[in-house]
Structure 1
Amino acid sequence: MPHRMQTGNPLGDHDIGLFSIIYGLLGHDVPAYLQSNLFENTIADPEFWTWLAMAHALGTAYLGTEKRIMEKSNK
């Protein structure tokens, strides 16, 4: 069953939000991990704040977060 996640924070002059639909194929731990970490991982990428590189930064954050999930699932 898919989980819906919506999170966001005002950051300085910016109101940043993230909406995701997550399929909990590995159980409820994955959606909980994403809700706690994906937003922060996304905005932590220095390239996120340059508009031309935002798509790349989002992709990098998603891939990095997915890698950490897969590492945890293999333990």
Structure 2
Amino acid sequence: MSPGKKGSVPEAQAQRIFDGLAARAEAQLTMEQAVSDALKAGGSVREVAALSGLSGTTGQKYGHARGWPPT
């Protein structure tokens, strides 16, 4: 591959970056929903944090954003 103009990203690589950003955003939403569902199903904040690798505070934030704990 020959070097292009300095500072420019070839279109194929730019598309890979955009695809990766979209996949990351989708994975983030999936993780937030999974954590929230686990909390709603009765999982403790500590257990969900241990399983997910997230802090308890982050897990609670995801849960609160999706209606946990039920009022």
Task: Flag whether TM exceeds 0.5 (same fold).
Answer: no
TM superposition score normalised by structure 2: 0.34
Higher relative helix content: 2
Structure with larger Rg: 2
Higher relative strand content: 1
Q: Which has the higher contact order (CA 8 A, sep 6+)?
A: 2
